[in-house]
């Protein structure tokens, strides 16, 4: 994949919906443009539509998730329920944050877009399976990355230990595949194969990510970082959309187009998530400020900055060459080096690029704008987050 130089806009690049609404720009301090008549209302309506879809998806999927987790052995059930925010560490009930349900919402909305309400209703188990698979990866990632906070509470491994967190993740993965295997829907077998292939791709992406962390800053390329991000994030979003299409009985070309739609939206999501990982507000993200920089993570903005050939890139490489020492290093200086080297602007521009490509794939599979509206709203929701 050939990229335009940092700080240079590729004239071939299509204008994405995020740029159209002034959501993602290429300059940090640029004031948002005043939207043309109707565009502000359109963006607000899309935000409300996405929120409604997420609420409806959570309401549809949560009973399936709870029923599935009730079948787990007690020790794994305890860890899983804690991870989902439905139980405190002492085992008492909690009404916590189980996440936004973006992936199950994509399954259900894709099914509805191509097959109507009946297809959506038939896809609830598949949506729950995708959510279980997603949370299996979160439990394992937290252990591998040694993240201590998720969803504004201590991560499962910090409460119950590495072994329990890993085993709970394994159990959620098994539950996901069992839900599909036991589903009498004619698409369930193809869905199970697709989810299993996706999990293998996720594992490959995680392996690449952890291997990259052991390499020197100058040894990591932007292309391999983008490929890793697609495997870790885009693959499951694409799989979610594809499963919805399968349950709607869509033809192969529409299933593949929705898979590509989800992958492109997933890359946009990851680009913005990486920006938030550096410059996000801890009160909103639930993670300490600058945690990615302290961990020397080679996120997309960081690698873009490191490969920019600028003086700030050299400064950043020097900082990243040594482990972070609390009290001795100013993380704001590291964040500023990423920004001065163009990493933040590049990531934001690339997010708009990938959203534009996602919209092209969506139009191929669902040419009716009204039918595609829910998927458009969800795709814009996940990349509309504030830092």
pLDDT in tens, the chain (387 residues): 333 333 333 333 333 333 343 333 333 333 333 333 344 445 556 689 999 999 999 999 999 999 999 999 999 999 999 999 999 999 999 987 788 899 999 999 999 999 999 999 999 999 999 999 999 999 999 999 898 999 889 999 999 999 999 999 999 999 999 999 999 999 999 999 999 999 999 999 999 998 998 888 889 999 999 999 999 999 999 999 999 999 999 999 999 999 999 999 999 999 999 999 899 887 776 667 788 899 888 999 999 999 999 999 999 999 999 888 887 778 999 999 999 999 999 999 999 999 999 999 999 999 999 999 999 999 999 877 644
Residue with tokens 């998730």: 65
Q: Which residues contact 56 (CB under 8 A, 6 or more apart)?
A: 105, 108
Pairing of strands 149-150, 153-154: antiparallel
CB 129 within 8 Å of CB 176: yes
Integer angstrom CA distances of residue 34 from 28, 40, 149, 376, 386: 16, 8, 37, 22, 18
The 3-state secondary structure of 1-22 reads CCCCCCCCCCCCCCCCHHHHCC
pLDDT score recorded for residue 69:
97
pLDDT score recorded for residue 44:
58
CB 264 within 8 Å of CB 234: yes
Q: Which residues contact 233 (CB under 8 A, 6 or more apart)?
A: 205, 266, 267, 269, 270, 273
Domains of the chain: 17-26+39-382 (1.10.600.10)
Task: Please spell the DSSP secondary structure of 186-229, one letter per residue.
Answer: TTHHHHHHHHHHHHHHHHHHHHHHHHHHTS-GGG--HHHHHHHH
Q: What is the pTM of this model?
A: 0.85
pLDDT score recorded for residue 19:
37
Q: Exposed, middle or buried, 332 (CB in 10 Å: 0-12/13-18/19+)? A: exposed
CB 355 within 8 Å of CB 265: yes
């Amino acid at each position: 994949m050939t990229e335009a130089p940092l700080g240079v806009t590729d004239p071939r690049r299509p204008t994405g919906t995020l740029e159209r609404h002034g959501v993602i720009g290429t300059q940090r301090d640029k004031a948002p443009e005043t939207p043309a008549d109707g565009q502000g209302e359109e963006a607000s309506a899309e935000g409300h539509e996405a929120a409604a879809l997420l609420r409806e998806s959570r309401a549809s999927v949560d009973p399936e998730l709870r029923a599935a987790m009730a079948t787990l052995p007690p020790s794994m059930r305890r860890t899983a329920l804690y991870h989902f925010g439905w139980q405190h560490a002492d085992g008492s009930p909690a009404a916590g944050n189980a996440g936004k349900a973006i992936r199950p919402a994509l399954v259900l909305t894709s099914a509805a877009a191509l097959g109507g309400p009946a297809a959506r209703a038939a896809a609830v188990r598949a949506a729950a399976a995708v959510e279980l698979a997603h949370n299996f990866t979160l439990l394992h990632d937290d252990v591998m990355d040694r993240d201590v906070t998720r969803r504004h509470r201590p991560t499962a491994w910090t409460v119950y230990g590495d072994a329990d967190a890993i085993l709970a993740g394994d159990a959620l993965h098994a539950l996901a595949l069992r839900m599909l295997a036991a589903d009498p829907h004619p698409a369930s077998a193809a869905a199970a194969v697709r989810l299993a292939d996706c999990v293998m791709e996720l594992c490959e992406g995680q392996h690449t990510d952890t291997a990259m962390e052991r390499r020197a800053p100058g040894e990591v390329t932007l292309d391999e970082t983008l490929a890793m991000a697609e495997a870790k994030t885009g693959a499951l979003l694409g799989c979610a959309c594809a499963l919805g299409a399968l349950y709607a009985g869509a033809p192969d070309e529409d299933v593949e187009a929705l898979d590509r739609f989800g992958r492109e939206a997933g890359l946009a999501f990851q680009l913005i998530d990486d920006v938030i990982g550096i410059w996000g507000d801890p009160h909103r993200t639930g993670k300490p400020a600058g945690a990615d920089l302290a961990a020397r993570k080679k996120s997309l903005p960081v690698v873009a900055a490191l490969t920019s050939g600028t003086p700030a890139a050299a400064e950043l490489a020097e900082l990243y060459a040594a482990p972070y020492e609390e009290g001795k290093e100013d993380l704001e200086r590291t964040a500023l080096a990423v920004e001065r080297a163009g990493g933040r602007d590049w990531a934001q521009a690339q997010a708009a690029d990938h959203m534009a490509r996602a919209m092209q794939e969506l139009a191929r599979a669902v040419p009716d704008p009204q039918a595609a509206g829910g998927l458009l709203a969800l795709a814009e929701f996940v990349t509309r987050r504030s830092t």
